[in-house]
């Protein structure tokens, strides 16, 4: 069974296929990736317990050795390893600590008023309209401005950076990246380096209090980061900030529109919104998978994994594991579940969890308050990707 074949992913993750794997072969070997014949096969890890085990054992399952996605066609391994998400301890821990100070719950809470102003401003642009696309008209501009404000990006550059992030991470989708993988490598990635290089030069000359400046002036064991490490650290934060909240908000809103009983619960009792946020994260994790590479021969749930094998953790599957969740495919705003949308513990647990939760809470609150009768106005479309688990269009009628 070739899990990543495009035919399985026309409407997002193939949940029936993953359900079958969880029951019949929870650690499953896929021999090839047809679109990328030079890429080796991989192991699919589909249950919550096994994803948790892989996540916590960085000595056996490395992020650094082979990259962090099933396919590594866009960024060379050297650049992947320049992001702390593509490192192993101890270097991972030292670099991640640089970022951690910018994402503490206390610091995120200090931005609460500003983030709400951003959400209110974006929704205010819809005044007088009957329809919109929640992806492009609400989610994208809101998340771009939030992460842009943290990184020190001028507001007028938000759309440019959003397009760069979308075309790089969504490189396999012809709508997000008409130039294909080659176009991303030849045009988009160099433009990211060029634009980021200018910001780095400006921060070297005139330090500020944004996270780009933190990267530029940070020292690890007395050494400043190299330019490519700064660029890739910048890229990682921008990519996470651009895609995570956008993906979960849009799929969560779609679920609420399609399940009016669940939406009514939130309209009648807005204190349930944080619970609905967690349920949205469980059912619609922004990234369908991350990957590790085995550093030694090992065994996982009865399967013999060889040193050098790719091991892919499918959060889109583990978050619907029937052994963890009753009626796992049903959206239940009152469930308030634990989940693996931010990873499954271990060193690589997402440092932006507090920011993502706050953004999602505000987006749900403000959208529902303004448009309690929102309806679909056409067929939503998923990004064509086995990595990004997100809608690229969500047309809605604002007032039902």
Instruction: Give 395's strand partners.
Output: 133
Q: Are 327 and 339 in contact (CB under 8 A)?
A: no
Q: CA 365: distance to chain centroid? A: 21
According to DSSP, residue 12 is labeled: B
Q: How far is 325 from 335, CA to CA, in rounded Å? A: 9
Give the pLDDT of residue 117: 98
Residue 249: Cβ-neighbour burial (10 angstroms; 0-12, 13-18, 19+): buried
Q: How far is CA 47 from CA 50, 226, 312, in A?
A: 5, 38, 11
Give the pLDDT of residue 224: 87
Give the pLDDT of residue 341: 97
Q: How far is 222 from 400, CA to CA, in rounded Å? A: 59
Q: How far is 243 from 200, CA to CA, in rounded Å? A: 23
Which H or E run includes 276?
helix 273-283
How crowded is residue 347: how many other Cβ atoms within 10 Å of its Cβ?
Answer: 17
User: With a cut of 50, which residues of the chain have pLDDT below it?
Assistant: none
Reduce the secondary structure of 38-72 to three states and give it as a string: CCCCEEEECCHHHHHHHHHCCCCEECCCCCCCCCC
Give the pLDDT of residue 221: 79
Nearest partner of 86 among 58, 60, 67, judged by Cα: 67
How crowded is residue 56: how many other Cβ atoms within 10 Å of its Cβ?
Answer: 17
Q: Is the dihedral of CA 34, 40, 41, 44 positive or negative?
A: negative
Nearest partner of 67 among 52, 87, 50, 53, judged by Cα: 87
Q: How far is 249 from 240, CA to CA, in rounded Å? A: 14
Give the pLDDT of residue 342: 95
Query: Reduced to 3 states, what is the DSSP secondary structure of residue 398?
Result: coil
Residue 154: Cβ-neighbour burial (10 angstroms; 0-12, 13-18, 19+): exposed
Q: Are 282 and 51 in contact (CB under 8 A)?
A: no
Give the pLDDT of residue 5: 94
Nearest partner of 342 among 22, 52, 50, judged by Cα: 52
Determine if the pTM surpasses 0.85: yes
Give the pLDDT of residue 78: 84
Give the pLDDT of residue 255: 98
């Amino acid at each position: 069974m070739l899990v990543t074949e495009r035919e399985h992913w026309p409407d997002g993750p193939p949940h029936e296929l993953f359900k079958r794997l969880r029951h019949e072969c929870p650690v499953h070997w896929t021999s090839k990736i047809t679109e990328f014949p030079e890429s080796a096969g991989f192991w699919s890890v589909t249950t919550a317990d096994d994803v948790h085990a892989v996540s916590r054992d960085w000595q056996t399952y490395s992020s650094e050795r082979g990259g962090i996605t099933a396919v590594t066609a866009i960024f060379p391994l050297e650049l992947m390893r320049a992001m702390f998400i593509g490192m192993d301890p101890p270097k991972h821990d030292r670099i991640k600590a640089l970022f951690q100070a910018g994402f503490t719950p206390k610091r995120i809470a200090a931005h609460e008023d500003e983030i709400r102003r951003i959400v209110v401003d974006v929704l205010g642009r819809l005044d007088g309209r009957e329809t919109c696309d929640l992806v492009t008209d609400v989610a994208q501009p809101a998340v771009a401005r939030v992460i842009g404000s943290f990184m020190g990006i001028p507001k007028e550059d938000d759309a440019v950076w959003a397009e760069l992030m979308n075309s790089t991470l969504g490189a396999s989708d012809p709508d997000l990246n008409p130039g294909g993988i080659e176009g991303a490598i030849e045009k988009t990635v160099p433009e990211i380096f060029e634009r980021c290089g200018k910001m780095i030069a400006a921060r070297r000359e005139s330090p500020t209090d944004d996270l780009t400046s933190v990267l530029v002036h940070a020292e690890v064991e007395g050494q400043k980061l190299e330019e490519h490490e700064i660029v890739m650290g910048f890229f990682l934060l921008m990519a996470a900030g651009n895609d995570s909240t956008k993906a979960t908000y849009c799929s969560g809103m779609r679920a609420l529109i399609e399940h009016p009983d669940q939406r009514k619960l939130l309209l009648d009792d807005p204190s349930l919104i944080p619970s609905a946020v967690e349920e949205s994260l469980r059912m619609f994790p922004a990234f369908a998978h991350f990957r590790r590479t085995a550093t030694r021969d090992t065994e996982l749930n009865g399967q013999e994994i060889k040193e050098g094998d790719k091991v892919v953790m499918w959060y889109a599957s583990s978050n619907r594991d029937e052994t963890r969740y009753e009626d796992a495919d049903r959206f239940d705003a009152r469930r308030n579940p634990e989940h693996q949308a931010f990873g499954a513990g271990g060193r690589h647990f997402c440092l932006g969890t507090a920011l993502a939760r706050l953004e999602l809470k505000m987006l749900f609150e403000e959208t529902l308050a303004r448009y309690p009768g929102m309806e679909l106005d056409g067929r939503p479309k998923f990004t064509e990707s086995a990595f990004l688990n997100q809608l690229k269009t969500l047309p809605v009628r604002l007032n039902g």
